[in-house]
Amino acid sequence: MPHHEADANKISLVLELLTEHGFDRLAEAIQILLNEAMLIERSDYLNAAPYERAESRRGYANGFKPKRVASRVGELELRIPQVREAAEGGERFYPNALERGERGERALKLAIAEMYIGGVSTRRVQRVTEELCGLKITSPQVSRATQLLDEEISSWRSRPIGACPYLVLDARYKKVRIGGSVVTAAVLVAMAVREDGKRSIVGVSVATSEAEVHWREFLQSLVLRGLHGVRLFTSDDHPGIKAALASVFPGVAWQRCQCHMQRNAQSYVSKIVMKKDVAEDLRSIFNAPTMADADQIIKTIVVKYQDSEPRVAAWIEENIHEGLAVFQSPASHRRRLRTSNAVERLSKEIKRRTRVAGLFPNEAALLRLVTALAMEVSEDWEAGGQYLTMEQA
C-alpha cells in the first residue's frame, strides 16, 4: 500500500541549506526534517497516504498544531500532525520523534537540577547550557527544574526508620531569604547507627533557628516515622537540643560532643602556655578505660588547676560528666560515639556545595539541596560496611 513518502523538494531544500550555510542553518534543516518525519509517521499510523481511500484506514488527518521546542541546535518551530480517530477509545496518535525530543527536554531539566545539586551556580548553569545545548536558561527555569526532584526527595525524607540504638544530632547554618529579609537558617541533621551497625541519615530539616521548639518538632517527626530503641544521643550542648531531648526522649542517655568540650574548655584558660596542658588532661579523662578511672583522673585534675586556673577547675567539675555518658556503651563503640564527627562528611558536603549558592531564595530551596546531599551520603553508607560491630552491644 503506498504510504506518504518524503517530499523530494523538502529534502533538496535541506541539502541546499546545509551545503550553502553549514551549521548556521542547521536548526532550520532539522526543523524541516522533523516536520517531514512526523508527516510520514502520521501516514504510517493511519495506514493510508494523504487523500487515499482505504478500508484499513485508522482515522483521518486533522491539520496541525504549532509547537516551539528548544533543542541543542536552537529553537525549532514544529507543526505537529493531528489525527481524528476513526473509533473512540483507540490509541491516540503522537509522533515518536517529538516524544523523544520531549524526553530529552525532561532529561536536560533533570541534568540542570543535578548540576544545581552538584554545586554549580545559576550563572554557570546558564553559560553551560547556552554553550553546549544552544539553550538560554533563566534563573526561574533552573529553580523549576530542581523541583522535579521534590517528589523523590519528599518520599525519602518521610520513609520509615525503625530501631536505631545510637543517634548523632548536628546543625549547620546557611543564609536564606525569608519574607524579604536575609536570615541565617539552621539545617538540622540526624544520623543514626542502625541495628545492623551501618550509618544512615534518618532526618533533615530546615528551621529558622536551633530553638527548642524546632528541635522538638524535628525529633517528634522521627518518632512518627517509627524511630525507637535509642540508647544514646550525641550532640553539642546547644540548649535547644538538650531541652528537646528531655521532652521527646526522657531518660535516654545524652553524650556531649567531646570535640566541642575541648573547644569550650579553652575559653576558660587564662594563660596561653597552659592551653596544651589542659587539652591533654581532658583527653586523659576521655580516654580512661573505665568510668571509675575517669572519675579518679577528674579529681586529680581539679586539684591540679584549683590555684593556677580556677575557672578551668570549676568548668571541669560542672561540665565534664556530660561528656562521659559514652562509658555506658561497649568499649569498642565509644570512640565513634563520643563526638558528632560521624556526620562531618555530610557537613563538609553541605559546606562545599552550598558555597556557590551563597544566599538561598527560600527555605524550600535549601531543604531540597541539603536533602539531596544527605541522600547521596546516606546511600553510600548503607551500601558500605558496618560502622560499628553491633554483636558487641
304-319, pLDDT tens digit by residue? 999 999 999 999 999 9
Q: What is the pLDDT of residue 383?
A: 85
Confidence band for 222, pLDDT divided at 50, 70 and 90: very high
285 three-state secondary structure = helix
In this predicted model, which residue has the larger pLDDT, 231 or 373?
A: 231
Is 90 exceeded by the pLDDT of residue 103? no
In this predicted model, which residue has the larger pLDDT, 358 or 174?
A: 174
Looking up cell 556545595 gives 353
Looking at residue 270, its amino acid is S
What helix, strand, coil percent values describe the chain, rounded to 5? 55, 20, 25
> How high does pLDDT run on average in the chain?
84
> Among residues 327, 159, 319, 344, which one has the least CA distance to residue 231?
327
Q: What is the pLDDT of residue 159?
A: 95
CA distance 319 to 52: 92
> Among residues 73, 74, 241, which one has the least CA distance to residue 171?
241
Question: What is the DSSP-derived secondary structure letter of residue 307?
Answer: T
In this predicted model, which residue has the larger pLDDT, 12 or 267?
A: 267
pLDDT tens-digit readout, 115-142? 666 666 666 666 766 665 556 666 676 6
> With contact defined as beta carbons under 8 Å apart, do 136 and 142 qualify?
no
CA distance 264 to 119: 33
pTM score, whole prediction: 0.69
CA distance 339 to 337: 6
- Mean pLDDT of the 284-303 span: 96
Q: What is the pLDDT of residue 354?
A: 72
Least confidently predicted of 62-66, 197-201, 266-270, 303-307? 62-66
CA distance 168 to 241: 11
CA distance 30 to 91: 28
Confidence band for 114, pLDDT divided at 50, 70 and 90: low
> With contact defined as beta carbons under 8 Å apart, do 313 and 291 qualify?
no
> With contact defined as beta carbons under 8 Å apart, do 64 and 82 qualify?
yes
Q: What is the pLDDT of residue 200?
A: 96
Q: What is the pLDDT of residue 392?
A: 57
> With contact defined as beta carbons under 8 Å apart, do 295 and 286 qualify?
no
